[in-house]
Amino acid sequence: MENILAAGVIILLSLLLYQWLKRSWFRPLPLPPGPNGIPLIGNVFDIPKTMPWKAFRDLASVYGDVLFLRVPTQNIVVLNSTQAAFDLLEKRSDIYSSRISKIMIALIIPKQWNFALMEYTPEWRVYRRNFHQFFHQRTVHNYHPIQLNQCRGFLRRTLGDSSQLSQHIRLIFSGIILKIIYDIDITDMHDEYIQIAEEAIAALSIVQVPGKFWVEFLPIMRYIPRWVPGAYFKRKAEQYQSIVAKMKDQPFDAVKRNMALGKSGSSVAATMIENIHADAKDTAAQREQEEIARSVTGLAYGAAADTTTGAAQTFFIAMSLFPHVQRKAQEELDRVVGPNRLPDFDDYDNLVYIQAVALESMRWIPVTPIGVPHALTRDDEYRGFVIPKGTMIIANAWAMLRNPEDYPDPECFNPDRFIKDGRLNPEVRDPTTIAFGFGRRICPGRWLSSDSLFMTIASVLHTLNIHPILEPDGKKYDPFSHRVDGINLTIEKVPCTVTPRSEAAAALIRQCAA
Q: Please, are residues 304 and 173 in contact by the beta-carbon 8 Å criterion?
A: yes
Distance from C-alpha of 43 to C-alpha of 257, rounded to nearest angstrom? 51
CA 117, 123, 125 angle in degrees (round to 5)?
Answer: 80
What is the Cα–Cα distance from 50 to 217, expressed in whole angstroms? 17
Exposure letters 12-51 (e unless 16+ CB within 10 A, then b): eeeebeebbeeeeeeeeeebbebeebeeeebbbebbbeeb
The span from the CA of 332 to the CA of 314, in Å, is 20
What is the side-by-side strand order in the sheet with 392-395? Answer: 66-71, 74-79, 392-395, 374-375
> What is the rounded CA–CA span in Å between residue 131 and residue 300?
8
Report the alpha-carbon distance of residue 82 to residue 296 in Å, rounded. 30
- Separation in Å, CA 82 to CA 209, 226, 400, 414: 22, 42, 6, 20
End-to-end CA distance of the chain: 74
DSSP per position, 198-222: HHHHHHHHHHTSTTS-GGGT-GGGG
| Residues whose CB is less than 8 angstroms from the CB of residue 417 and which lie 6 or more positions away in sequence, other chains included | 356, 360, 407, 408, 428
* Closest to 388 (Cα-Cα) out of 401, 405, 375: 375
Give burial (CB, 10 Å; 0-12/13-18/19+) of 486. buried
Encoded amino acid at 148, one letter:
L
Q: Return d(Cα 392, Cα 210) in angstroms, integer.
A: 10
Dist. CA 172–CA 422, nearest whole Å: 30
Q: At what angle do helices 165-182 and 446-463 cross, to 10 degrees?
A: 140
The Cα–Cα gap between 152 and 512 comes to: 7
Element (DSSP H or E) covering residue 245: helix 232-260
418 phi-psi bin (left φ>0, alpha ψ -120 to 50, beta other): alpha
Whole-angstrom Cα distance, residue 430 to residue 414?
Answer: 14
CA within 13 Å, CB half, 484: 19
Does 443 count as an annotated binding residue?
Answer: yes
Distance CA 20, CA 26 (A): 10
Cite the annotated binding site for heme by residue number. Answer: 443
Cite the annotated binding site by residue number. Answer: 443
